[in-house]
Amino acid sequence: MMTLFNAPEYRKPGFRLALLACLVAVIVLGMGVFTRLADAGLGCPDWPGCYGHALWPKADHEVARANEAFPDMPVEHDKTWPEMIHRYLAASLGLFTIGLLVFAVRNRSPEQPLKLPAFIFAFIILQGMFGMWTVTLKLWPQVVTAHLLGGFTTLSLLWLLTLRLNNQRWQVPAISEARLLALRKLAVLGLIIVVCQIALGGWTTSNYADIACPDFPRCQGAWLPPMDFANGFNIAQHVGPNYLGGVLDNDARVTIHVMHRFGAIVTTAYLLFLFVRLRGLGTVPASRLSVVMLLVLAAQVMLGISNIIFNFPIAVAVTHNLVGALLLLVMVTTNYCVFTAEVNRGGTKV
């Protein structure tokens, strides 16, 4: 039998710190999504401060001075605090990555991961730059999408590090070795499909196309509404002046939304196929992971439909993003398990 985490005596140093960093990354990701959905991405038009403040302007004279300095972006108190809280949470995550790197260096050994913590630290710096560009480039969709994907990537890398430090591997009977080898390619493809669907979701929200189809299962009363692929997926859009609220016309936004729905169908179909193949491996851990995959997938599909039916409430939309992140972690776990699995030549199932 295998549980989610290995016994403490078998874990590598830094496991608890990596797991805690994952939890912080989830909070950062959720706060970032909330900030975006609350239209608070430009709640602070400058960076790294907010209207020149370490937090945000509160007193009347501070607000008056801020409005004078930024006449085109007056202070809105319901938008300043989400942006700054998100920035400080992201900065705290950066401290965790530094701690993980220091821990890996101090406990350096052939068995202790070093390159991965170093890469995570470098990537969090890049992610911080994308956070800055999100503001300075006025919510340019390309940067907003990249920043969202960077958040998902950071969480995935931290979870991969946690799995490696957990130091636990599947034991697969020899009779299932051929299935295991075939499953590796299928797991990689599944990860790619989920990442592409998340990217589609990011492009949808960064272009304010989530409300382009307010009905379900049709879109604006049609099964195949007028669409504009050239503008909907034009990644060469010029920068600025301000993308708050989006600049695309209706047909372009409908195109993005419809393709996200199509991607959801493809993702669901493939993961159902992968669910069957995982169970076919014939081990308890693989069967358990397949059930987790199915439950998370079902929750994500229901949340996506609920978004439309209930007119995109922020709570449902944020949960939809977080469950999407959970689905990505399931795929990272699947790939890690099938690529590190050991074949038990004795044929014993575990």
Write out the chain's pLDDT in tens, 350 residues.
Answer: 456 788 888 888 899 999 999 999 999 999 999 998 888 888 999 999 999 999 999 999 999 999 999 998 899 989 999 999 999 999 999 999 999 999 999 988 888 899 999 999 999 999 999 999 999 888 899 999 999 999 999 999 999 999 999 999 998 888 888 999 999 999 999 999 999 999 999 999 999 999 899 999 999 999 999 999 999 998 887 776 778 878 899 999 999 999 999 999 999 999 999 999 999 998 999 999 999 999 999 999 999 999 999 998 999 999 999 999 999 999 999 999 999 999 887 644 44
Residue type, 336: Y
Separation between Cα atoms, residue 185 and residue 30, nearest integer Å: 31
Q: Which tokens go with 255?
A: 């195109």
Axis-axis angle for helices 141-166, 15-37 (nearest 10): 160
Question: Could you tell me what percent of the chain has a pLDDT over 90?
Answer: 77
The residues spanned by each domain of the chain are 1-168, 170-350
CA distances from 258 to 207, 211, 213, 228 (A): 13, 11, 8, 11
pLDDT digits (tens, 9 = 90+) for 77-96: 899 999 999 999 999 999 99
What is the DSSP secondary structure assignment for residue 343, as one 8-state letter? E
Residues in the chain: 350
pLDDT digits (tens, 9 = 90+) for 192-241: 999 999 999 999 999 999 989 999 999 999 999 999 999 999 888 777 67
First to last CA, the chain: 5
Annotation marks residue 83 as catalytic: yes
Question: Which of these is catalytic: 9, 62, 68, 83?
Answer: 83
pTM (2 d.p.): 0.93
Query: What DSSP element (H or E) covers 173?
Result: strand 171-173
